Amino acid sequence: MQKIEHIGIAVKNLEESNILFAKLLGKKHYKIEEVASEGVKTSFFKIGSNKIELLEATNPNSPIAKFLEKKGEGVHHIAFAVTDIKKEIKRLKKEGFIVLNDPEISGLKKGADNKLVAFLHPKSTNGVLIELCQEINTK
């Protein structure tokens, strides 16, 4: 793994949280993106070489809606940048981590911010949802 790419925070109201985080960080979000397949609307803030991703549910079946219901607002996941996501998943599976969207079964997911993403189940990572993300090369 290369570095922490971003930290994902589940929020009830993206618009209000965008204002709150702009006050906190002293700068505005640089993009808003909806990932319809995941039922989320996201916004991104740059902070140094890392990012903060705010996530709002767009429907009641969204994983974010379920998270908010269970735990309320707060840190939802930590995302690590990787250069070769398939290789990394293979390595992590061998180490006993549970991959949520196993690319060998369902194919890799396209996440927000032009990334291929995969998640590790929190029950295999001390309760923290881990996202792996690899930049999609656009030529």
Site residues for Zn ion per CB under 5 A:
8, 53, 79, 131
Residue 55 CB, shortest distance to Zn ion, in Å, is 7
- Phi–psi pair at 98, nearest 5 degrees: -95, 115
Residue 133 CB, shortest distance to Zn ion, in Å, is 7
Closer CB to Zn ion, 94 or 116, in the complex: 116
Rounded Cα gap, residues 14 and 52, in angstroms: 13
The residue sitting closest to Zn ion, measured at its beta carbon, is 8
Closer CB to Zn ion, 9 or 22, in the complex: 9
Closer CB to Zn ion, 38 or 94, in the complex: 38
Residue 57 CB, shortest distance to Zn ion, in Å, is 14
Rounded Cα gap, residues 72 and 12, in angstroms: 8
Which of 6, 12, 83 is CA-nearest to residue 44? 6
Residue 69 CB, shortest distance to Zn ion, in Å, is 19
Rounded Cα gap, residues 106 and 59, in angstroms: 22
Closer CB to Zn ion, 88 or 131, in the complex: 131
- Phi–psi pair at 136, nearest 5 degrees: -85, 125
